[in-house]
Structure 1
């Protein structure tokens, strides 16, 4: 997979802290019920618009850089009905764009479900609503049950082919953002004198992110995106993935930011945070976990091993978690960032109302002091 020729000069994100030597911090929006914890004894996240609105306004108030929402079409059931209730990513982010003034608003599109011309117009509209703050999270699609339930699973496209499809899809979107007329006859995507106006407000274009750490996933990110969300079973694996992705981008003449996710469980003391963890684990939803394992694959036949997300979820947490006092949390987040040479973090909370307020008291100021302030002035 090779990047389009324009990629060498196609570098959005100049107004993010990472463009000035700092780090980017944002939140993964609680768009679906249960959040990222498979438990009936944790704080209640209902996935409602009002809950998400409060989280977005708090994120902006405390000075975070971005908010991002996933796209989810089928949950995992269980006695918690985990992720069975989920808002639409782009409709939500459009509403929140009108409610906020500064924070970036990044929405998610599944390439297998959305026509690139429709996507181009929707993101351009979101960019206009937000006055140039829109971003696009691209998911090539690997969730069989979500797509099969609506008759949209392409049986002929394997893991690698889905990235080929996504590359053509994203090339079409980018061209529609810049060109007045686009004709494209690809292996998967066809555009015939296609027009898409208005264009995005941002120049050269909106920020694009993706997630993935397979070889093909990193090739896709290197060629087509501005940032890659990564994970790993431990710090060493995350560092190896981050450095490999950055090296691939550098060899292609591009800059690729790497981000990671972390669930923050902050207490007044380490012992209090540990007690919160214990309470959450008491309500572990085994049935939802099994359904999630089925959806993601305990052993993914296309990749060949259990992925880090499903392995971690055995403890009830779908993303890596950092627990402790504010000092412990800040020190651990700095360790993760420095070790993996990350450009930022996307944070998650068992409860966003209390979690964001706690973050603002000491953890976020400590991170900003170490990595630079948000204001370029």
Structure 2
């Protein structure tokens, strides 16, 4: 299992807690990234939203791409997965930008392609917002252009949404044949696109049994296309405490739902513009990306066992959220990661003992 984490570019993940002691600043992001690769984390995801959908639209939110470029220059081992929304970036120019960051990082850049969901943000920034399936059709063309720009000496393309005429991109990315392209989605349109044109699939938090079914579905789609195997990742919010009772008390604290919270309208926008396979509760609303559904709550042994369940379900990456980020990442690295890696091969902790 590889351990990744969401970089707190929004100042936190909890919609009911005003101040999580993790400011949306470059100094905090840099400190976290440099420390994380020292204590055993493999990857950071830099989300892309120009407005803050968790703490409220008037709250700070760091730019994803300039932050990713800066992180590439001040880290040594960490994979930098940066989110990108096709409606906000011309594919030929984004391919150039990403290739340069991949070189700055010596081959550590990856993309998380997100077919935009936030209609309000797009309107405020003057960006076109397509209907659901149209967004995926646009993303499909966008991926074709990025892939062609990265791989071919000269590239031309003519589609419904994008056109490129004899374009040249030099220098190419360090990674061959290309940097890893991740994407998430649960609709039929999303699954069809991801299985055919991406390298890895990401999902929101869920139980291992549900994740296993999703992984099996994507694997079968991939095999039917006779393409190389994909990798799989999922989000999760972590609460590690000395006792199960302490962990439960922390969950109660962060799920004290206040529907007047500043991020609630943005959450409703997300629900209205996505097609999820299950209903989302107000408790899920409390933590972004359905993080609590992953069940990474309890003692170090309980959380480690849950991680191993995800490994057996077919995941090879967990994208974790913590609050406050720095302190809880340290706790996870010290108390949970050694248990997981000591087990190895997805074995349960009981079997190892």
Matched residue of 2:195: which SS? helix
Taking the aligned partners of 2:50 and 2:62, their CA distance within structure 1 comes to: 9
8 Å contact from structure 1 (residues 41, 279) kept in 2: no
* Unaligned stretches of 5+ residues in structure 1: 1-22
Matched residue of 2:233: which SS? strand
Matched residue of 2:202: which SS? strand
Aligned with residue 102 of structure 2, among 103, 121, 127: 127
Aligned with residue 31 of structure 1, among 5, 9, 13: 9
Aligned with residue 151 of structure 2, among 143, 158, 178: 178
Q: 1:118 to 1:55 in 2, by over 3 A?
A: same
Q: Does 1:40 align with 2:14?
A: no
Taking the aligned partners of 1:162 and 1:344, their CA distance within structure 2 comes to: 26
Taking the aligned partners of 2:127 and 2:92, their CA distance within structure 1 comes to: 18
**Equivalent position of 2:65 in the other structure:** 90
Matched residue of 1:112: which SS? helix
8 Å contact from structure 2 (residues 184, 203) kept in 1: yes
Taking the aligned partners of 1:318 and 1:304, their CA distance within structure 2 comes to: 12
* Deviation larger for 112-121 or 53-62: 53-62
By how many angstroms is 1:235 displaced?
Answer: 4.0
Taking the aligned partners of 2:344 and 2:73, their CA distance within structure 1 comes to: 29
**Counterparts of residues 224-373 of structure 1 (less than 5 Å):** 224-231=197-204, 234-254=207-227, 255-282=229-256, 284=258, 286-297=260-271, 300=273, 303=275, 307-308=279-280, 312-316=283-287, 318-321=289-292, 322-338=296-312, 340-371=313-344
By how many angstroms is 1:135 displaced?
Answer: 0.7
8 Å contact from structure 1 (residues 27, 59) kept in 2: no
Aligned length: 342
**Counterparts of residues 12-91 of structure 1 (less than 5 Å):** 23-33=1-11, 35-40=12-17, 43-76=20-53, 80-81=55-56, 84-91=59-66
* Deviation larger for 108-117 or 157-166: 157-166
Deviations, residues 194-218 of structure 1 (Å, cap 9, x unaligned): 1121110111111111111111111
Deviations, residues 264-304 of structure 1 (Å, cap 9, x unaligned): 1111222222222223234746333531332212x55x738
**Equivalent position of 1:189 in the other structure:** 162
By how many angstroms is 1:27 displaced?
Answer: 0.9
TM-score (norm 1): 0.84
Deviations, residues 167-198 of structure 1 (Å, cap 9, x unaligned): 11111111111212111111211001111211
By how many angstroms is 1:360 displaced?
Answer: 1.4
8 Å contact from structure 1 (residues 208, 227) kept in 2: yes
Matched residue of 1:105: which SS? strand
8 Å contact from structure 2 (residues 301, 336) kept in 1: yes
Q: Does 1:215 align with 2:188?
A: yes
8 Å contact from structure 2 (residues 232, 315) kept in 1: yes
* Unaligned stretches of 5+ residues in structure 2: 347-353
Taking the aligned partners of 1:344 and 1:305, their CA distance within structure 2 comes to: 21
Q: Does 1:142 align with 2:117?
A: yes
Q: 1:41 to 1:230 in 2, by over 3 A?
A: same
